[in-house]
Amino acid sequence: MRVEKTFLLREISAKVEESNFLYLVDFSRVTVAEIAELRKNLAKDGAQFHVVQNTLLRKIAENLSWPSFTQWLVGQTGIVFGGSNPSGVAKSLLKFAKDKEKLVTKGGIMDGQLYDVVAVEALSKLPDLPTLRATLLSLLLTPYRQCLYVLQGVPQALLNVLQAQQEKNK
């Protein structure tokens, strides 16, 4: 392998390894202006879009010990990675694909697992990570909150009875 390709392989591998997800897309019918718009949309979520040769992607997958996704390495392949919100990035990516009707999502890999197009679409329908955390926290706190309401109700009921008795005695 030439020195330039080795450097490029190391550079891309380092960037992709920092992210916990990677989406593969076919961008063959997308214009340069539309790719610039896609990059702008993805940058809002901290993600990046890059065009990489399929042979380099195969080598990156081997270097990072990922499962084989060679079935998706056909035609022109672009990669989307980065950011801390995989569902938000998937949502932006699929919204762009739906609006422009040119970009095709091939699949993705997240935390070492392959995701096909259906899984990426399901992921895009999830709320963002802070919302999921807040929902989980709320679910975990609900039994404690209800228990406190019950425990608070007994003294409150006793107080109401005592106040009624006091009013009656006056």
Q: Are residues 80 and 134 in the same domain?
A: no
pLDDT in tens, the chain (170 residues): 688 888 888 888 888 888 888 999 998 888 899 999 999 999 988 899 999 888 888 888 888 888 888 888 888 889 999 878 888 899 989 999 888 888 888 998 888 888 888 998 988 888 877 888 899 999 898 888 888 888 887 778 788 888 888 888 87
| Domain count along the chain | 2
Range of the domain at 152: 127-170
Nearest alpha-carbon partner for 79 in 123, 128, 35: 35
Q: Are 120 and 105 in contact (CB under 8 A)?
A: yes
Q: Are residues 12 and 58 in the same domain?
A: yes
Q: Are residues 91 and 157 in the same domain?
A: no
Q: Are 85 and 129 in contact (CB under 8 A)?
A: yes
pTM for the full model? Answer: 0.74
